[in-house]
Amino acid sequence: MIVTFISQCEKKALSRTRRVLDTYASRIGSRTWQTVITMDGLAAIKKHLRKTATKNTAVACHWMRGKTRTELLWVVGNRQQFDSEGVVPVHSTQRDVFSGLTESDWDLLPQIKIVAAISALFHDWGKASELFQSKLRPSDKRKEKVLGDPVRHEWVSCFLFAEFVRSCGSTDREWLDALSDGRLDEKKIIQSVQASEKTLIEKVRHVPADLPPLASVVLYILLTHHRLPVYRGSGRSQWKGVKRGSFKELLQIISYEWSYANYLETEDQRCRLPLCFSFPHGICTDSPAWMKQIKKWSQRALERYTSFSEIINSPGFRSLIHFSRLAVMLGDHIYSSQQADPSWKTDIPLYANTEKDNSLKQKLDEHLVGVMKQALKTAHLLPRLESSMDEARDVQSLKAAARPGTKYYWQDKAVEKILAWRTEQAELLKKQDQSFGFFTVNMASTGCGKTTANAKVMQALSRDCDSLRYILALGLRTLTLQTGDEYKERLGLDETELAVLIGSKAIATLHREWHNAQQNEDSEDTVEMSSESQETLLDDHIDFACDIPEGDLRTLLQTEKDRQMLFAPVLSCTIDHMMAATETTRGGRWILPFMRLMTSDLVIDEIDDFSGTDMIAVGRLVFLAGMLGRKVMISSATITPDIAEGYFHTYHQGWTTYTASRNANETVGCCWIDEFRTVTSTVQDSDSISASRNFANHHNHFIEKRVRSLRSQRNQKGARRVGQLIQCKDLLEIGSEVEREEALFERSAQTILSLHQDNCHTDPVTGKTVSFGCVRMANIDPCVSMTKYLLGFQWPEDVCVYAMAYHSRQVLLLRNEQERHLDSVLKCKTEEPRRAAFSNLVIRKQIEKNAAANIVFVLVATPVEEVGRDHDFDWAIIEPSSYRSIIQLAGRVRRHRSTVVQKPNIAILEFNRKGLLSEGDQPVFTRPGFETDSMLLNSHSMASLVNVRDMEKGIDAVPRISRNQELKPKDSLVDLEHNSIHCSLTHYKQVPGPETMHGWHHNSFWWLTGQAQQYNYAPFRAGESQIEICDIYTEDGNYFGEWEQRNKIWLDRELVYRIDRERDSDMGYERLWLHRDYRALLERREDQYGESPGKASGVFGRLTFPKRFEGSKLLYSEQFGLVENRRE
């Protein structure tokens, strides 16, 4: 291809660009280059230019498509130097336009600056106490570190500030007048907070809740600039079902037991408490620089005095709190990491912090003023942060239109519908109003291209309808990495436009090596064993290869990794990273995801992967996206009606909060998408419940049409997945639990034979019949037991079964080796379904070494197989946990094939293992599942819980995506799920306590605390506590070690955790599908990447298990993982 480069760079950027382009192309003019180049070479040029780009860079690339036509491929840098076709202007005019156009939309920005400035000037006032100052110069550092302060310095700051406000009067104007005049009576304030030891405890027990409105806002930010209030006293569940309907009501319940006291019940700490309220060196009132800023910003507050009372009583109050707190916390984070100002002159002997060697660092008044200035800088940059971030443009794959009638044509029709809606709205509003809310539901079936469609839709929703800047949040690391690969391959996004963020560098490294190996490339990457010494807002690994543009926004974050997460145009990440924006209760880990969400729209893929309190926690993130003015898309083929309505409701609540402080339309656009049709609608109701009912009506109409289309498709073409029930009722008559379990396994083995006969392939080399199947077990230990049973079962002579256990409780390197093999074998994306499997060396060997005519490969898997694995099985047996588990696992059967079947290829056990072994009334569809003690099913037989006759016609998602008007949660498995989701997301009449979704909305004030995120309320990922160990390699053998941070060594924990190792020789199984050798894999890494096996094992040998296993005997095998040891 022939390409031409045009440079409109200025200043130093011109010479820098010339050096890059001269390397690749011939200069045919002072600012023009031309060359013949491949697409890979062109991508390398674009990457090089982006890495060196500044605000003065502007380079356009044109492709010579013919003798008379060129096509603009991309622009790097300032796009305003070119028009949409890459043409350079020959003349320009100018006019006086309000320079702060972006800022003008931020009606609350002046108030945010005022609150942030005043709060920053008082935020560490409590550090002036005698106890804190002595802690900075401790004589017994160990004791001080263990005990901590009786009450935290934030608590002391609040009482100092409250006593000052009270001393001035009962209104905000009075204390602001006093500050503007410099009237801070130090002695009076100090005397007011002091008391005897006996009375002081009660005096400072509760946070002052009687202050005027603006003072209460400042006090709240003083209180929470390190952590949100979380109740740590006795009876931690007492706030469930309790509403806090006002800011004052919320403050009234906060005491120092809400995470602001340390061991105050001990005598030693009570004796030290008066020292927290003793100030022998004063409280900074002798600092001229500090007092100057106090006077300045209190005067600014007086100038806008009336506006504060209006804001505090409106939904905009939430935005004021969030952004003011963000500015103070980020300002504190940045300034605290800097060195002390050598030019600061003050005689005040008070300090705010220390160096790493414990030497004194910043003076207290210097710190207060410095944090104030940095907080103001942060607040000033908020409008630019929201609207001036980098975007991915000129994505050629998104411009290519599919031909009508082809598989992916529905994607372009969806874009057309959205663009038509935008045009219609612009005409109604008589202007192109960019600030509109939009909520999208993408329910296209698996294999129809939802991932690409999501990108096209988000481009259509962008400001100019031609750019990409959004977050793609997924539930699993594997999904995140796979989606990152798909975006690079299908959309053509490179590492300068797409950042992939997961929680483990080790997993990212293994994935990258596998990806490179598939492309027959040699990888030279090695694992960085050391950790960063500088504290950052982001600990996790991020794959993004573009330098960050220069400018003021760059200075907001201290490390390159933090900036990469913020600046990358498209971010593919596990949802956990974004959840930190709402789930963090201590420290500043919420700042970076909050800022990222300010600048990006949000797509949550596989939204129905979450259940229980996770659904409520995800709703908090959706609310925040709406509150920040972003657009949201939820995507999955199996979205239930209550998931769609519930998340729309919380988004609408967030959007209402946004419009209260911004120049934006209250209406919210809605869009429903699948492979059959796209429907758009505008919800204009200002009341969120009415809006949600309106949305639900549109959604139900859309689902009715989708169900008709799916059923019509099944009736015309047939079903790809046909179910049958494995009768197990007779097994209930067997006496012991052990015998019942073995009988269940035997019944499953017999079913494997019939499923193989009906769903097998012929090996083109040997003529043998071969099939690949999955047996889904709900839990890990039964999964391993089933695998061992199948390996030892007496199969017919003409049948050979190879089995493998697949679950999460396995060493990382061994699990990765297993997943590599499965990914390469279980793909059927060619006309010959099993070509990849039959050409695999391991599979080839297993087929040919056995004389049996029937070869069956069985993967016994836990729910890890249901989501995130792109596998295609011929058949499956399902131990049911929920209706969703049936649908998810069924999606792995004939996943890559469109041909239909006539005989069953999915068998469902009538009873799951818990139901078969349990006695009495107790939940069995649980962990995983939706059944609880308060919502028990009348029967645990699948024969009465599902429509067996309908499943025999074909298994699809219809029962999950639609619901009956009247639910029967005690008699139907799918109705049980619908009812559970309804209680979590759409039960609007429940009291909005902190454990509910509605307790997070603007008509409740629990969002001011961290109570909702606590274990017994509604936290995210509220699973069991886990212990992490590593299988450490030594020349003498392996041991399971636990890392000791103090001495930087691995401690042998095999005896402590009672782990026994099962050797391959102990098992005697010759029918393992895949044999893995941990030591051999580590030694192979040494040959390939130069990593010593010992160090590599400390990175890739990780394994986690539940803390409840402590005290139990455990059994570990390289082939089966870690389970409880039940051997005699």
Q: What is the pLDDT of residues 370-399, one digit of tens each?
A: 999 999 999 999 998 888 788 888 787 787
Helices (H), 337-407: 364-387, 396-399
The domain defined by 392-568+585-716 carries CATH number 3.40.50: yes
Would you give the distance in Å from CA 588 to the centre of its chain? 16
Q: How far apart are CA 538 and CA 587, in angstroms?
A: 12
CA geometry: angle at 807 spanning 527 and 951, to 5°? 135
* pLDDT range class, residue 524, cuts 50, 70, 90: very low
- For residue 749, is pLDDT > 90? yes
Question: Which two structure tokens, joined as six digits, stand for 133?
Answer: 């100052």
617-660: pLDDT as tens digits: 999 999 999 999 999 999 998 999 999 999 999 999 999 999 98
* 1114-1117 sheet: strands from edge to edge: 1059-1061, 1114-1117, 1121-1124
What 3-state class would DSSP assign to 467?
strand
CA atoms within 13 A on the CB side of 400: 10
- For residue 526, is pLDDT > 50? no
Q: How far apart are CA 535 and CA 333, in angstroms?
A: 10
What type of residue sits at position 441? V
- For residue 562, is pLDDT > 90? no
What type of residue sits at position 889? L
Question: Which two structure tokens, joined as six digits, stand for 686?
Answer: 């200002």
What 3-state class would DSSP assign to 528?
coil
- Tell me, what's the pLDDT at 1066? 53
- Tell me, what's the pLDDT at 233? 81
533-557: pLDDT as tens digits: 234 465 555 655 555 455 556 666 7
What type of residue sits at position 186? E
**Cβ partners under 8 Å of residue 971, min gap 6:** 937, 938, 939, 944, 945
Q: Are 868 and 1084 in contact (CB under 8 A)?
A: no
Q: Looking at per-residue confidence, does 868 or 19 come out higher?
A: 19
Q: How far apart are CA 461 and CA 463, in angstroms?
A: 7
Query: What proportion of the chain, given as a percentage, has pLDDT over 70?
Result: 91
Q: Is the dihedral of CA 275, 280, 282, 287 positive or negative?
A: negative
Q: Looking at per-residue confidence, does 543 or 809 come out higher?
A: 809
205-259: pLDDT as tens digits: 999 999 999 999 999 999 999 999 999 888 878 888 898 889 999 999 999 999 9
Q: How far apart are CA 726 and CA 877, in angstroms?
A: 9
Q: Determine the average pLDDT of the residues in 804-823.
A: 94
Q: Are 118 and 298 in contact (CB under 8 A)?
A: yes
98-145: pLDDT as tens digits: 444 455 678 899 999 999 999 999 999 999 999 999 988 866 554 445
- For residue 522, is pLDDT > 50? no
- Tell me, what's the pLDDT at 503? 63
CA-wise closest residue to 190 among 306, 285, 328: 285
Which secondary structure element, helix H or strand E, spans residue 952, and what is its range? helix 948-953
Question: Which two structure tokens, joined as six digits, stand for 807?
Answer: 């679950």
849-889: pLDDT as tens digits: 989 999 999 999 999 998 778 899 999 999 999 999 999 89
* pLDDT range class, residue 674, cuts 50, 70, 90: very high
- Tell me, what's the pLDDT at 129? 94
Q: How far apart are CA 158 and CA 161, in angstroms?
A: 5
Decide: residue 1066, CB within 10 A, 0-12 exposed, 13-18 middle, 19+ buried: exposed
- As a whole number, the mean pLDDT across the chain is 88
- What is the phi/psi pair of residue 368, to 5°? -65, -45
Q: How far apart are CA 3 and CA 60, in angstroms?
A: 10
* 498-502 sheet: strands from edge to edge: 541-543, 498-502, 570-574, 470-474, 601-605, 632-635, 437-442, 668-673, 678-683
Q: Are 553 and 384 in contact (CB under 8 A)?
A: yes
Q: Which DSSP string corresponds to 188-251? A: HHHHHH---HHHHHHHTSB----S-HHHHHHHHHHHHSSB-----SS-TTTTTT----SHHHHH
Q: Name the residue ranges covered by the structural domains of the chain.
A: 2-81, 109-385, 392-568+585-716, 723-923+940-955, 1026-1124
Q: How far apart are CA 774 and CA 876, in angstroms?
A: 5
Strands 668-673, 437-442: pairing kind: parallel
Strand partners, 858: 773, 803
Q: Round the CA-based radius of gyration of the chain to a whole number and report it.
A: 32
CA distances for 881 relative to 308, 475, 476, 733, 914, angstroms: 53, 19, 20, 22, 10
Average the pLDDT over each of 386-390, 988-992, 1102-1106 and give the range with the smallest value: 386-390
- For residue 490, is pLDDT > 80? no
Strand partners, 635: 442, 605
- For residue 401, is pLDDT > 70? yes
What 3-state class would DSSP assign to 351?
strand
Q: How far apart are CA 870 and CA 446, in angstroms?
A: 10
Q: How far apart are CA 139 and CA 358, in angstroms?
A: 12
Q: Are 348 and 286 in contact (CB under 8 A)?
A: yes
Q: How far apart are CA 574 and CA 689, in angstroms?
A: 31
- For residue 828, is pLDDT > 80? no
Q: Are 20 and 45 in contact (CB under 8 A)?
A: yes
Average the pLDDT over each of 54-68, 129-143, 451-465 and give the range with the smallest value: 129-143
Q: Are 451 and 375 in contact (CB under 8 A)?
A: no
- Tell me, what's the pLDDT at 288? 94
In CATH terms, are 2-81 and 392-568+585-716 the same topology? no
Domain 2-81 sits in CATH at 3.30.70.240
Domain 723-923+940-955 sits in CATH at 3.40.50.300
What 3-state class would DSSP assign to 128?
helix
* pLDDT range class, residue 846, cuts 50, 70, 90: very high
Q: Is the dihedral of CA 796, 799, 804, 805 positive or negative?
A: negative
- Tell me, what's the pLDDT at 517? 62
Question: Which two structure tokens, joined as six digits, stand for 870?
Answer: 């792109």
Question: Which two structure tokens, joined as six digits, stand for 1109?
Answer: 């296993």
Q: How far apart are CA 285 and CA 160, in angstroms?
A: 13
Q: How far apart are CA 323 and CA 859, in angstroms?
A: 51
Which of 90-104, 535-549, 780-794, 1004-1018 has maximum average pLDDT? Answer: 780-794
- Tell me, what's the pLDDT at 322? 95
Q: How far apart are CA 80 and CA 220, in angstroms?
A: 43
The counts of H helices and E strands in the chain are 42, 30
- For residue 1041, is pLDDT > 80? yes
CA distances for 944 relative to 430, 645, 909, 940, 949, angstroms: 58, 29, 13, 8, 11
Local structure of residue 893 (DSSP, 8 states): B
Question: Which two structure tokens, joined as six digits, stand for 486?
Answer: 């798909």
CA-wise closest residue to 313 among 247, 231, 236, 410: 247
* pLDDT range class, residue 710, cuts 50, 70, 90: very high
CA atoms within 13 A on the CB side of 256: 23
- For residue 1006, is pLDDT > 70? yes
Q: Looking at per-residue confidence, does 520 or 79 come out higher?
A: 79
Query: What proportion of the chain, given as a percentage, has pLDDT over 90?
Result: 62
Q: How far apart are CA 720 and CA 714, in angstroms?
A: 9
Q: Are 828 and 897 in contact (CB under 8 A)?
A: yes
945-964: pLDDT as tens digits: 999 999 999 999 999 999 99
Q: Are 182 and 164 in contact (CB under 8 A)?
A: no
412-423: pLDDT as tens digits: 999 999 999 998
- Tell me, what's the pLDDT at 653? 94
Q: Is the dihedral of CA 752, 754, 755, 758 positive or negative?
A: positive
- For residue 433, is pLDDT > 70? no
Question: Which two structure tokens, joined as six digits, stand for 127?
Answer: 């550090």
Question: Which two structure tokens, joined as six digits, stand for 345?
Answer: 């002159």
Q: How far apart are CA 962 and CA 968, in angstroms?
A: 14
Q: How far apart are CA 653 and CA 809, in angstroms?
A: 40
